[in-house]
């Protein structure tokens, strides 16, 4: 089977590609524009596999997308390409509107034409899998509530609003044009190869350098944390075995406050890196509370009953096991994140040096 993955050089996309190449016989076409967070070095261990092919393409470019579909003839499209950082969406929402909404529309429009060109037997196996976020649901104020696949949308940030719009477009193409689709909404991902602007890698790297560990507000915002390799397994299951035109929520069953996450990382570093930076007696001393993000949601929590029941998926990693593996990975892969921080990552591979 041929699978076209958009955003495959990103954090979740690269984990998905590594999972598929290592555990299946499928072929991958990775379509990625290589914006600041796209890093081909995250795919170095599989990039020479003959089943892997890379196309540096912007999904907003209709002719390029059309060419790729015609040339590679994928059986499945898995759409992960997106701008995804909430703070950046607040500072500059335009790129989020363009990539997440216009890009999804362009991909859907090409996918529709491609689907209509297929023979009947190939139409039977084709599907368009749209990967989204639990942030489209908004905020949970009741500690007993969980997001389900039927929770009404109530996005709070330009990022989540743009993802909500893309979800609606996918469902509209399914209903109006009969395009076989499936949508997944996931909780907060973490793990190896995570871009350092995100909370967990930022805290790890700042702590190692003796820099402040910024925590928004009082740090009591709650998120459900999902180890990225567990997410990759779930995505492949949905793409290959999920029911067409259904939605599946994917969660890690690991609700933690942001402050708990930061504190846990500090405790792991005390054990693994006892030789601290100069003038740092305790990693927790670096925790610094900063002004809260505008419109910051208080709590997200996923009900993943449906995917467990229908596809027999559940996360393998608890937060305790996953976060320790994550910290150990960053300690063992300093060359990777140092190249990300200094901006030299991937340049050789795309001819910028």
**Smallest Cα–Cα separation from 125: which of 75, 78, 184?**
75
Q: What's the CA gap between 110 and 59, in Å, rounded?
A: 10
Q: In the Cβ-directed half-sphere of 253, how many Cα atoms lie within 13 Å?
A: 11
Q: What's the CA gap between 3 and 337, in Å, rounded?
A: 28
**Smallest Cα–Cα separation from 351: which of 66, 103, 54?**
54
Q: Report H helices in 73-198.
A: 86-91, 94-96, 103-117, 120-125, 158-177
Residue 276 is classified by DSSP as P
Q: What's the CA gap between 170 and 200, in Å, rounded?
A: 31
List the structure tokens of 137.
């649901």
Phi-psi region of 131 (alpha: psi -120 to 50; beta: other; left: phi over 0): beta
**Smallest Cα–Cα separation from 219: which of 251, 264, 186?**
264
3 state SS of 47: coil
So which residues are the catalytic ones? 134-135, 159
């Amino acid at each position: 089977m041929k699978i076209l993955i958009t955003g495959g050089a990103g954090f979740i996309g690269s984990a998905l590609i590594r999972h598929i190449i290592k555990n299946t016989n499928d072929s991958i076409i990775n379509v990625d524009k290589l914006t600041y967070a796209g890093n081909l070095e995250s795919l170095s261990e599989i990039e020479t596999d003959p089943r892997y092919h890379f196309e540096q393409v912007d999904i907003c470019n209709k002719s390029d997308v059309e060419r790729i579909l015609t040339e590679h003839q994928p059986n499945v499209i898995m759409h992960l390409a997106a701008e995804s950082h909430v703070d950046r969406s607040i500072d500059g929402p335009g790129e989020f509107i363009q990539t997440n909404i216009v890009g999804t529309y362009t991909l859907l429009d090409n996918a529709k034409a491609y689907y209509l060109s297929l023979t009947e037997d190939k139409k039977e196996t084709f599907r368009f899998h749209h990967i989204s976020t639990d942030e489209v649901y908004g905020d949970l104020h009741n500690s007993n509530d969980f997001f389900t696949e039927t929770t009404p949308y109530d996005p709070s940030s330009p990022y989540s609003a743009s993802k909500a719009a893309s979800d609606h477009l996918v469902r509209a193409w399914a209903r109006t044009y009969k395009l076989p689709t499936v949508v997944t909404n996931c909780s907060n991902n973490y793990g190896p190869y995570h871009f350092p602007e995100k909370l967990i890698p930022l805290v790890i790297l700042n702590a190692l350098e003796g820099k402040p560990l910024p925590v928004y507000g009082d740090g009591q915002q709650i998120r459900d944390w999902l180890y990225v390799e567990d997410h990759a397994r779930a995505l492949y299951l949905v793409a290959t075995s999920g029911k067409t035109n259904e939605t599946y929520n994917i969660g890690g069953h690991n609700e933690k406050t942001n402050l708990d996450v930061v504190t846990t990382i500090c405790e792991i570093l005390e054990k693994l890196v006892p030789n601290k930076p100069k003038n740092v007696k305790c990693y927790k001393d670096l925790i610094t509370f900063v002004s809260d993000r505008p419109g910051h949601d208080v709590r997200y929590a996923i009900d993943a009953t449906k995917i467990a029941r229908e596809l027999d998926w559940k996360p393998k990693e608890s937060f305790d096991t996953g976060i320790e593996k994550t910290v150990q990975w960053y300690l063992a892969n300093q060359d990777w994140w140092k190249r990300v921080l200094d901006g030299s990552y991937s340049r050789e591979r795309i001819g910028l040096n």
